[in-house]
Amino acid sequence: MSSPVLPLINQLFSENYPSVQVDIQFVGSDKLINELHNFELDVGITYMEDQALNKMNTVTLYEEQLSVMVPKSMLSTRKKSITWKEVAELPLCLLSPYMKERQIMDEAFSLVGCDPSPKLECNSIFQLAFHVMQGTLATIVPSGFSRANDAFPGTREIHLTNPVISKPVGLVWEPVNPPLPMAQAFADISYRFM
């Protein structure tokens, strides 16, 4: 997941704990939960709908919606929203099928009776965005992704509708007593963030 709140939370954490070095890793949902259970990670940020999170401490941070990222020349600049059916007809590059984000996309396509065949699959949202910059492919990103990074010239986002997909994203950590110091520190900052 490419969380737009991660830099803000990290900044707040670093201001409060300047001598602590933060190590950010991008791992799948199953691996995240396993590494939290094994105390290999202190906290994680993930989609909150996973049943495995029921026994964990959680703080919902925001609702994530999806947009299509296209080269500016691909669609009319007047187009402010686009349906999943319309996106299924575009030349797509998408996240790999095993990734939770892709599974959410596939569910949305299925709801409208579509099963697009992407031209490219990749486990890096940044690589997908770089391919969009080349001008022939589109991809699906969290709304605000390209604005937050401001690193993908020649592209724009169009809000996805019919259906609008909104998923809660939050902080997760192991419920141990006493709480792990790093997990508690991130949780305290997350509560203030909200």
**Chosen CATH of 6-62+168-193 out of 3.40.50.300, 3.90.1330.10, 3.40.190.10, 3.40.50.10330:** 3.40.190.10
For residue range 28-78, list pLDDT tens digits in order: 788 889 999 999 999 999 889 877 788 899 999 889 999 999 999 998 888
Q: How high is the pLDDT of residue 83?
A: 97
Supply the mean pLDDT for the chain.
89
Indicate the domain borders of the chain: 6-62+168-193, 64-166
**0.75 cut: is pTM over it?**
yes
Q: How high is the pLDDT of residue 134?
A: 94
Q: How high is the pLDDT of residue 117?
A: 95
**Chosen CATH of 64-166 out of 3.30.1540.10, 3.40.190.290, 3.40.718.10, 3.40.1130.10:** 3.40.190.290
Residue type, 92: L
Q: How high is the pLDDT of residue 77?
A: 86
DSSP-based three-state secondary structure for 93: strand
Given a cut of 70, is residue 194 above it in pLDDT? no
Q: How high is the pLDDT of residue 2?
A: 59
Which alpha helices (H) appear in 38-88, and where do they start and end? 84-88
Comparing 149 with 8, which gets the higher pLDDT? 8
For residue range 136-173, list pLDDT tens digits in order: 999 999 988 877 656 788 899 999 999 999 999 999 99
The token pair that represents 26 in the structure block: 């991008």
Point out the least confidently predicted range of 32-36, 113-117, 180-184, 187-191: 187-191
| C-beta separation of 154 from 72 below 8 A | yes
DSSP-based three-state secondary structure for 66: strand
E runs forming strands in 110-183: 120-122, 139-142, 155-161, 166-173
Q: How high is the pLDDT of residue 183?
A: 92
Domains 6-62+168-193 and 64-166 share a fold: yes
For residue range 86-137, list pLDDT tens digits in order: 999 999 999 999 888 999 999 999 999 999 999 999 998 889 999 999 999 9
How many Å apart are CA 187 and CA 58, to the nearest integer? 8
Comparing 138 with 191, which gets the higher pLDDT? 138
Comparing 135 with 194, which gets the higher pLDDT? 135
In this structure, which long-range contacts are made by residues 118-127, counting pairs with CB atoms below 8 Å and at least 24 apart in sequence?
A: 118/92, 118/93, 118/94, 119/91, 119/92, 119/93, 120/92, 120/93, 120/94, 121/93, 121/94, 121/95, 121/96, 121/97, 122/93, 122/95, 122/96, 123/95, 123/96, 123/99, 125/2, 125/95, 125/101, 126/2
In the chain, the largest separation of any two C-alpha atoms, in whole Å, equals 56
| C-beta separation of 178 from 132 below 8 A | no
Q: How high is the pLDDT of residue 19?
A: 93
How many Å apart are CA 149 and CA 170, to the nearest integer? 20
